[in-house]
Amino acid sequence: MFKIVKYGDPILERPCAPVTEFNTKELQELVEGMFETMYAAKGVGLAAPQVGISQQLTVIDISAGEDPAQKLVLINPQIVAKEGLQTGEEGCLSIPGFREDVTRAWKTTVRAKNIYGEDFEVTGEELLSRALQHEIDHLHGILFLQHLSPLKRDLIKRKIRKLMKAGEW
Ligand code: NI
């Protein structure tokens, strides 16, 4: 189980390094720990920088632990195709308490490596498409706040700064 890094920590806004070593015990343990942390926080996606590790790795489970077949581990992922648009509410475990409408591609295809270093592709629609885009953004140091209007973004940042000052962040 990891502690989730919150907005304000610079690690969340830095691009992550690609993973270069596969099929290791460390990688296996990192992935297991990330799933555990994500389920405990009731999230559907978690990226390595959110647990303080600046590497291109993310876990997703849009069933939130209900269906093991939906568990996804994406290492060094790249979006290879996008189709359509959807607008819907989005949040982030690193920005608790704030949810806003974000427009994303309705369908996304991603190429990634698994923990053994093998390439695979996954295509997601609706929520999975949103999760894929949100989590891959994290690996490039991009938070969902960057998809909001400057006005909304600044409002949320001001509220967070207040919470920080009050020691409530
Ligand atoms: Ni997030």
Please, which pLDDT band fits residue 100 given cuts at 50, 70 and 90? very high
Indicate whether 65 belongs to any domain: yes
The reply to whether 123 falls in a domain is: yes
Catalytically annotated residue among 66, 83, 121, 135: 135
Instruction: Answer whether residue 1 is part of any domain.
Output: no
Q: What is the pLDDT of residues 106-137, one digit of tens each?
A: 999 999 999 999 999 999 999 999 999 999 99
Instruction: Fill in the amino acid letter for 62.
Output: I
State the number of CA atoms in the 13 A half-sphere of 32 facing the CB: 6
Distance 165 CA to ligand 1 centre (A): 23
How much of the chain, in percent, has pLDDT values that exceed 70?
100
Q: pTM higher than 0.85, yes or no? A: yes
Q: How far is the CA of 118 from the centre of ligand 1 (A)?
A: 25
117 Cα to the center of ligand 1, angstroms = 24
User: Which residues make Cβ contacts (< 8 Å) with residue 71, sequence separation at least 6?
Assistant: 35, 59, 60, 61
In a domain, residue 18? The reply is yes
The domain containing residue 40 runs over which residues? 10-165
Q: 4 pLDDT band (50/70/90 cuts)?
A: very high
Query: 3 lies in a domain?
Result: no
Q: What is the predicted pLDDT for the residue at 94? A: 98
Residue 51 covered by a domain? yes
- Mean pLDDT over 66-87 rounds to 97
Domain contains 2: no
pLDDT in tens, 40-52: 999 999 999 999 9
Centre of ligand 1 to C-alpha 49, Å, is 10
CB 37 within 8 A of CB 1: yes
Structural domain includes residue 68:
yes
Find, among 119, 11, 17, 127, the residue nearest to 62 by Cα: 127
- Answer yes or no: 26 catalytic: no
How far away, in angstroms, is 93 Cα from ligand 1 center? Answer: 6
CATH, residue 120: 3.90.45.10
CB within 8 A of 159, min separation 6: which ones?
Answer: 98
Number of domains composing the chain: 1
Per-chain residues with Cβ under 5 A from ion ligand 1: 92
Q: For residue range 13-37, what is the model confidence (pLDDT) as tens digits?
A: 999 999 999 999 999 999 999 999 9
